[in-house]
Structure 1
Amino acid sequence: MMIFIQALDFNLWDIIINGPELPHTISNEGVKTLKPISLYTDDDRKKVQLNAKAKHVIICAFISNEFNRVSSCATAKKMWDGLEVTYKGTNQVKNAKINMLVREYEMFSMKENENISRMFVRFTDIINSLQSLNKCHSNSEMVIKILGCLPNSWMPKITAIEEAKDLNTLPLEELL
């Protein structure tokens, strides 16, 4: 989603992550209040419109259940923060997901009667899930992991790959 939003307008992503600069006024007592629309300058309108665009992109990306969850939020940042908690969870939930996926990664092996393509899809699902939670493995670690999880019947192929290729620079896709 981040890449999609940045491709539309890089400033939209900034608004979502850091919050908008909504027009405000400061009273003589130093109280900050939202500026009435009738007093908006052109610059104020641009700021408000950028927040509206960001909200629109978020709302259009979800089905009605999620729309109902975020439609009442005043800013794109509040929408995003709410969705982040819903889908990624709190730090405790996030850590539990990471621990579960790390265990899946560590215990990963090719199943009986599974072809290499299907195994690679399962492996990629685990890696992508870990990356979405900011837990990344280097390409060489993943290549070594894939080679290590193959059954003994693959040993001649593993040996040939290890001798012919530099495992530190071998792309995972080329290994497949």
Structure 2
Amino acid sequence: MWEVITDGPIVITEVVKRIPMDMTRDPFDEIQINLKADFTTKEKKQDELDNLAKSIISGTVPDKHVTKIIKFKPAKKMWNILEGICIGSEEIKENKLSISCQKFDSFLMLKNESVEEMELRFNLVSNEVKIY
């Protein structure tokens, strides 16, 4: 299912001849349309996986984000928008990494802090650096 989110859904199309209503169009123009009724078993499974992925994504994110992503059809698009909301752009990620590295570099034990408390703070800071 992860492939549906990272690669997007399979797009099933069929080439159909268009009959123009006026003479300005070429009678041999082709258009592509999705015909769910003609999906193969594999294509139906792929479509079901996309729907399942969308359901999981929209069911697990906070309500404040659901309204921003629910309108997108493929799960991949939902995921990309959610990534932008939660993680941010590359520039934002670089800034967060820079801040985390500064915290890590300037880490010191605080006055009246136990070794266990310091270790907990240290782990939080080092995990921040690992995330970015």
State whether residues 16 and 33 of structure 2, in contact with CA within 8 Å, keep that contact through their aligned partners in structure 1.
Answer: no
Q: Which residue of 1 aligns with 2:67?
A: 68
Match of residue 26 from structure 1: 15
Q: Describe the superposition over 1:117-142 as per-residue Cα deviations: whole angstroms up to 9, x where unpaired.
A: 22122222222222222xxxxxxxxx
- Percent sequence identity over aligned pairs: 23
Q: Which has the higher contact order (CA 8 A, sep 6+)?
A: 2
Provide structure 2 residue ranges, at least 5 long, that are not aligned to the other structure. Answer: 18-28
Runs of 4+ in 1 over 3 A off after TM superposition: 26-31
2:38 alignment counterpart: 39
2:25 corresponds to: none
Secondary structure class of the residue paired with 2:85:
helix
Q: Distance in 1 between matches of 2:30 and 2:94?
A: 42
Alpha-carbon shift at residue 96 of structure 1 (Å): 0.6
Separation in 2 of the partners of 1:37 and 1:44? 9
How many residues align? The count is: 121
Q: Is 1:17 aligned to residue 33 of structure 2?
A: no
CA contact (8 A) 2:7 2:76 kept: yes
Q: d(CA) in 1 for partners of 2:50 and 2:107? A: 44
Find out whether 1:58 has 2:57 as its counterpart.
yes
